[in-house]
Structures are given as structure tokens and as C-alpha cells.
Amino acid sequence: MNVRNLLIPLLCLGAVAFACGPRSHTEASLVSMSVAQATRAATSPQKAKPRRRETSVTKITPSFAIQVDHNTLRFSLDVTNVGKKNVELDFPDGQTHDFVVLDSIGREVYRWGQGRMFTQSVQNRTIDSGETLHIAEHGTPSLPQGSYVAVATLRSTNFPMQERVAFELR
């Protein structure tokens, strides 16, 4: 095979790969400028553009409660959007929350999500302004009398939160 017939397509392929390769923002903008503009941009100091202030802050507040009825623990987690904009919560999988019970020295003695199966697909949930996402679960762990701490976790990747409530079993 002739070397020239192989060399030209390889050079063209290399040029396309180089042109499509990763670049920093500055390099990409310099490519689209003329030579004179690129020279001025490279030699003149860049002025920082003033940032626009966010007028409405995204704000969500959690509230966690636990009720003890004989051997049943009832968990209730409310996540309220108190901001003016809708909030979209992103979850890495089907488990959006979890509840854990810790004993008096901090050891985990119960986990609601343990042994449960959850989907492996990414999930999104939207909470409108002023709305509340209510999560209620229950568990029947066999725990001796004593002091405990219940921990509620919202497993959102963009708004992760954790709330704790102390309770006693008598």
C-alpha cells in the first residue's frame, strides 16, 4: 500500500481529533476570534464581570418527629419549601430517605433501609413554593428500654439533610 494513501487520512483524522479535543474556556474563545482580537485579549487584563445577586433564595426546612407505640416506631419527616422558587430534589437512586436509631453510646441499633431493595435509577422530586414533602415510615425493632436517638436522613444529592430526635423506650 502506498504510504501517501495512508498518511493523508491519518493526518485529517488527527486534525479533527485535535479540533474536537478538550480546551479551557479561554482557549475555546480565542479560537473563534481573529488574530488581532486574540492578541488584544491575551495581553490585556481581564475585568471581572459583576455577578448578579440572587433575589430569591432557595430554602427548604426539615422537621422530624418520632412516635413510640409499644414496639412500633413511627417516623415522620417533613421537608418544606419556604422559598419563593420551586425546589427540585435530586436522588441518586430509589432510596430517597432513611431512618436510623442509635443507642445511648451512639451505636446503630436499627436502620429502616437495611435489607430493603431500591431501584437503581436516578430520581427527581419537585417541591413547589410553600409545599411540604411528607415522608412517613414505621419499623418494629426489638429494642430494650433506654434512651435512643433517631436520625432522619434526606438522601438528596443537592439538598442533603439530617435531623435528630432523642426519645426513650419504657
pLDDT band at 70 (very low <50, low <70, confident <90, very high): confident
Summarize the chain as % helix, strand, coil (round to 5).
20, 40, 40
Residue bearing the bigger pLDDT, 33 or 167:
167
Question: What are the distances in angstroms from CA 101 to CA 135, 138, 170?
Answer: 17, 12, 16
Q: Which region, left, alpha or beta, applies to residue 70 given φ > 0 means left and ψ of -120 to 50 means alpha? A: left
pTM for this entry: 0.65
Instruction: Look at 19-23, 49-53, 71-75 and tell me which has the smallest mean pLDDT.
Output: 49-53
Q: How far apart are CA 49 and CA 46, in angstroms?
A: 9
CATH no., domain 60-169: 2.60.40.2360
Q: Which amino acid is at 14?
A: G
Most confidently predicted of 35-39, 53-57, 68-72, 107-111: 107-111
What is the maximum span of the chain, computed from C-alpha positions, in angstroms?
90
- Mean pLDDT estimate for the chain: 82
Whole-number Cα distances in Å, 46 to 29, 73, 166: 13, 60, 54
Residue 16 is inside which H or E element, if any? helix 3-20
Write out the residue limits of the CATH 2.60.40.2360 domain(s) in the chain.
60-169
| pLDDT for 23 beyond 90 | no
What is d(CA 161, CA 52) in angstroms, rounded to the nearest whole number? 28
